[in-house]
Amino acid sequence: MSRRPLVRECPPTTWYFRQPRYLRYMSREITSIFVGAYCVLLVVGLQRLAAGPAAWEGFLQALRTPASIMFQFLALVAAVYHAATWFNATQKAMPVQIGEDFVPGSVISGAHYVAWAVLSLAILYLAGVF
Amino acid sequence: MTPLKERLVQLEVLRYNPDTDTEAHFQRYEVMCQEEWVVLDALNKVKADIDPTLNYRWSCHMAVCGSCGMMINGEPKLSCHAFLRSYEGVIRVEPLAHFPIERDLVTAPDDFMEKLKRVKPYVIPKEKKPISEGEYKQTPAQLMKFRQYSMCINCMLCYAACPEYGLEPEFIGPAALTMAHRYNLDSRDGGRKERQEVVATHEGVWTCTFVGACSEVCPAHVDPAGALQQLKITSSIDWIVEHLIPGGKS
């Protein structure tokens, strides 16, 4: 009896609709578009700053438009989601063993959240918010 | 003694006969099952009472041998570990995704077996010593470092869950790479450099995009996704040492 195995292809463009967990994965991947776009916005801001006071003021005006505020809000949500899922993943990538036991994953992820909060506060302090 | 509850279960099973079929098709079975049965019991009942031509693999019926993996309602599961009470309506049973179908629910594991061999899943001693010098000893802490990854039962559910393997069949895949990690972490082993030739490549860890589905479906709680991320970190450190540190050698 000869073998004639049947190969069923994985649909290259629609596979992520097969399972909710694949959609969750894709939603995380898509957040990088917003994070990347916000980085471009920051670079444009630097360029406007270098161009002089009038250009900088125009840039600030553009940031205050409803469309810009909506984009910044979406970028913030995307960045927080991306960061949270990243921190939650650290416990898988960086297990810490002490003797025969492993440090609980929540401690490893938690340490990242604490570092995030401390660094954010430091940046806000340097920016003169406090 | 209270009689065991019975329930009429509807199964929709993917059938493929390589001798007569060019495509697979679903066949519906209705079978009376006991409430506490698993999907594998229902299939056994179908084979015994309704259709002896139905083909599938199984052996231990206790989630140890890893041979009864199937897609149950689209989810990779051990059919001996999938309780009928967890499902409502028609239960759709298909062969493991991403593997060629040999016949009905039987898939061809050849690709996985070949990849498993490529990662050298055995201890390659750091220093060979004669038997007269005794065994290679290990402390409990050294054992715990890799013990979780040694629990793999080669059921291949992680391959069926991994979209990257489905899209890029060259991918070495979760279980085989996890096995490489398991031996890399073993204090008696000195074979990491040999394994890196397979691990630290595009078809090795760098095809993994950390979907994480492998760990979610693993019946032995091995956490292949974690193992692969750790392999990425060690592979990156190797690259930095080799390319960015003067005089550094991988």
pLDDT, tens only, B146-195 = 999 999 999 999 999 999 999 999 999 999 999 999 999 999 999 999 99
Q: Which two tokens stand for residue A7?
A: 């190969």
Residue A31 lies in a domain: yes
The verdict on A73 and A106 lying in the same domain is no
Assess whether pLDDT exceeds 80 at residue A29: yes
- Which residue do the tokens 């471009």 mark? A40
The pLDDT-based confidence of A1 (bands split at 50, 70, 90) is low
Other C-beta atoms within 10 Å of B176: how many? Answer: 27
Distance in angstroms (rounded) separating the CA atoms of residues B93 and B17: 16
Per the DSSP assignment, residues forming a β-bridge with A96 are: none
Chain mean pLDDT for chain A? 94
Closest residue to A99, CB basis, from B102, B141, B233: B141
Residue A99 lies in a domain: yes
- Which residue do the tokens 């028609």 mark? B90
The whole-number average pLDDT for the span B207-222 is: 97
- Are B65 and B153 in contact by the 8 Å Cβ rule? The answer is yes
Q: Which of B67, B82, B68, B76 is nearest to B165 (CA)?
A: B76
DSSP A9: P
The verdict on A101 and A73 lying in the same domain is no
The contacts of residue B127 (CB under 8 Å, 6+ apart) are B190
Q: Which of B230, B220, B216, B225 is nearest to B145 (CA)?
A: B230
- Are B152 and B220 in contact by the 8 Å Cβ rule? The answer is yes
All domains of chain B in start order, with CATH: 6-107 (3.10.20.30), 110-244 (1.10.1060.10)
Number of domains observed in the structure of chain A = 2
Element (H, E) at A82: helix A66-93
Q: What is the model's pLDDT at position B1? A: 65
- pLDDT tens for A49-75 read 999 999 999 999 999 999 999 999 999
Closest residue to A5, CB basis, from B102, B140, B230: B102
The verdict on A120 and A69 lying in the same domain is no
Other C-beta atoms within 10 Å of B209: how many? Answer: 11
Q: Which two tokens stand for residue A10?
A: 């994985």
Whether chain A has a CB inside 8 Å of the CB on B142: the answer is: no
Q: Would you call A93 and B226 a contact, using CB atoms and an 8 Å cutoff?
A: yes
Q: What is the model's pLDDT at position B196? A: 96
Query: How close, in Å, is residue B72 to chain A by CA atoms?
Result: 13
Element (H, E) at A125: helix A105-126
The verdict on A70 and A16 lying in the same domain is yes
The verdict on A74 and A98 lying in the same domain is no
Domain around A69:
12-78
The verdict on A47 and A101 lying in the same domain is no
